Amino acid sequence: MPDPQGFLRYERQLPKRRPVPVRIQDWSEVYPPADDELIREQATRCMDCGIPFCHHGCPLGNRIPDWNDLVRTGQWQFAIEQLHATNNFPEFTGRLCPAPCEAACVLAIAGGQSVTIKQVEVEIINRAFDLGYVTPQPAPEPSGRSVAVVGSGPAGLAAAQQLARAGHAVTVYERDDEPGGLLRYGIPDFKLEKRHIDRRLTQLRAEGVGLVTGCAVGVDLTVEELRQRHDAVILAAGALAGRDMPDTPGRRLAGVHLAMEHLVPPNRVVAGKQDSVDIDAAGKHVIIIGGGDTAADCLGVAHRQGAASVTQLDLYPLPPRERDESRDPWPCWPWILREYPAHEEGGERVFAVAVQEFVGQERVRAIRIAEVTVVKRDGRRQVTVVPGTERELPADLVLLAIGFEGTEEGPLLDQLGLARNPRGGMDCGPDWQTAVPGVFVAGDMHRGASLIVWAIAEGRAAAAAVHTYLGGDGVLPTPVDPAAVPLTAP
Ligand SMILES: Cc1cc2nc3c(=O)[nH]c(=O)nc-3n(C[C@H](O)[C@H](O)[C@H](O)COP(=O)(O)OP(=O)(O)OC[C@H]3O[C@@H](n4cnc5c(N)ncnc54)[C@H](O)[C@@H]3O)c2cc1C
């Protein structure tokens, strides 16, 4: 029985972050490991509600009150078993998830302070690795069936692990030189050190998952060859086509780049894969266009590179700091100001502005912006410039972090004869199967650019569907029904 008074005795408290002046000198994670006492106190705040709304907030249906209570009583091994029951990779979500579970926590009602669920999660998996509780779980016997997974992000890896544990021979094909998807070279080390991916890959390999890197399906291996080799295919190739601003005057000036062109090289330098970066913010006035995860990552990288100044521009007005109950009542995901650790490190945020022009001769030297109002009509965004509000901001480096169009078009889709839907994703039926029999889809490639927690949830669900398709006995859990997936959820 959990402690019914815990939330009255303990305030919500996050572990201390490393000091800003120290952490911007390196690429290591912002949060150092937290001590047992703090985490057990924080887990004690969980009330084990009769209806645990946190479950419903979590796309994975994580059994949050169960593992909170196991942490409270110091039973770390049982806690990781409960956590792993629904989530293959809590070391990724515990570090990176925006935590819709916390927004849905009963303690968050009426502006209250939710349980620090995400922090408890990451500390469970940290200890589980340290204490040797994370071991390979190979299938008792092979099924004799074989599955290809295209793409090694969280969706592909979750699907691969589920299927390998059910006895299928799984091979993941990845075009990058290392597996991990956006977690490997998109997300910076200060959010996720890559040793966490490598440690998990060791487990996957020991469970029999084959990982083939440097292999772009459609280019290095045709879809026909792939289908001859395997009984089923899961597409988990992400939504990596970056959104651009091709019609804005000056877009082709030197110094204006897509965010990923700026984010990938430092990750490769930290990994020892290359010596230096071409796009360096050192000493520059940097403008980041966009307000999401990618923009915050560009901000953190620019500070670590020694930018002279960083300004982040957002089309939308400044959100409220607290949930607006009339707009997003609890337990919905609220529209509020999101502050990432990168924002603590410096920079200015400007809201309700749109870029009118990138200004310069050959290189960008400024951007011209104007204040705007944004309204949604019939689901479409209408942006109106406020007359007389145009101004210039100095800019030596401009980074476009305005989202992703969807899955990249090219040989993979052409050879499958599949096309993107209007959201940029790939359609599938209730069994996660695309229009091509035996070819399934999961993660960002299905839903468009989204979150790691959704990628894992969809990878698990697609794996369960493939298992059934291959005549399996239905032992794999199906946490998500594609028809029920709210595509607008966080
Ligand atoms: C900069 C950035 C920061 C982010 N931060 C967060 C965060 O903090 N929290 C969060 O929850 N989410 C975050 N996200 C989103 C999250 O990373 C994605 O939602 C998630 O990685 C999607 O997983 P996936 O497996 O579907 O695809 P991906 O991770 O995109 O992996 C797809 C993989 O497929 C490979 N591939 C593509 N085509 C082929 C082919 N033809 N053959 C072989 N391989 C192929 C790609 O190389 C890639 O490795 C962030 C995204 C970005 C860009």
Q: Can you give the residue range of the structural domain that contains 49?
A: 6-130
- Give yes or no for a contact between 187 and 292, defined as CB atoms under 8 angstroms apart: no
pLDDT in tens, the chain (490 residues): 678 889 999 999 998 999 999 999 999 999 998 999 999 999 999 999 989 999 889 999 899 999 999 999 999 999 999 999 999 999 999 999 999 999 999 999 988 899 999 999 999 999 999 999 999 999 999 999 999 999 999 999 999 999 999 999 999 999 999 999 999 999 999 999 999 999 999 999 999 999 999 999 999 999 999 999 999 999 999 999 999 999 999 999 999 999 999 999 999 999 999 999 999 999 999 999 999 999 999 999 999 999 999 999 999 999 999 999 999 999 999 999 999 999 999 999 999 999 999 999 999 999 999 999 999 888 788 999 999 999 999 999 999 999 999 999 999 999 999 999 998 999 999 999 999 999 999 999 999 999 999 999 999 999 999 999 998 876 566 555 555 544 444 5
- Provide the CATH number for the domain around residue 184: 3.50.50.60
Between the CA of 6 and the centroid of ligand 1 the distance, in Å, is 38
**Number of Cβ within a 10 Å radius of residue 312:** 24
CA-angle at 23, arms to 21 and 26, nearest 5°: 120
Q: Which of 452, 460, 485 to mutate to test the pocket of ligand 1 (most atoms within 8 A of CB)?
A: 452
Q: Are residues 384 and 274 in the same domain?
A: yes
Q: Are residues 186 and 274 in the same domain?
A: no
Q: Which of 182, 233, 404 to mutate to test the pocket of ligand 1 (most atoms within 8 A of CB)?
A: 182
- Provide the CATH number for the domain around residue 60: 1.10.1060.10
Give the span between the Cα atoms of 155 and 176, in whole angstroms: 16
Give the span between the Cα atoms of 186 and 267, in whole angstroms: 7
pTM: 0.96
pLDDT at 487: 43
**92-109: b or e for each residue (b if 16 or more CB lie within 10 Å)?**
bbbbbbbbbbbbbbbbbe
Q: Are residues 91 and 169 in the same domain?
A: no
Helix (H) or strand (E) holding 356: strand 353-360
pLDDT at 4: 83
pLDDT at 486: 46
Which residue shows structure tokens 């992703």? Answer: 404
Query: Strand order of the sheet with strand 397-400?
Result: 256-258, 397-400, 285-289, 309-313, 348-350
Residue with the smallest CA separation from ligand 1 atom 6 is 293
Q: Are residues 56 and 191 in the same domain?
A: no
- Is residue 490 included in any domain, yes or no? no
pLDDT at 290: 96
Minimal CA–CA distance to 123: which of 39, 199, 32, 44?
Answer: 39
Which residue shows structure tokens 């990781």? Answer: 80
The tally of domains found in the chain comes to 3
- Is residue 194 included in any domain, yes or no? yes
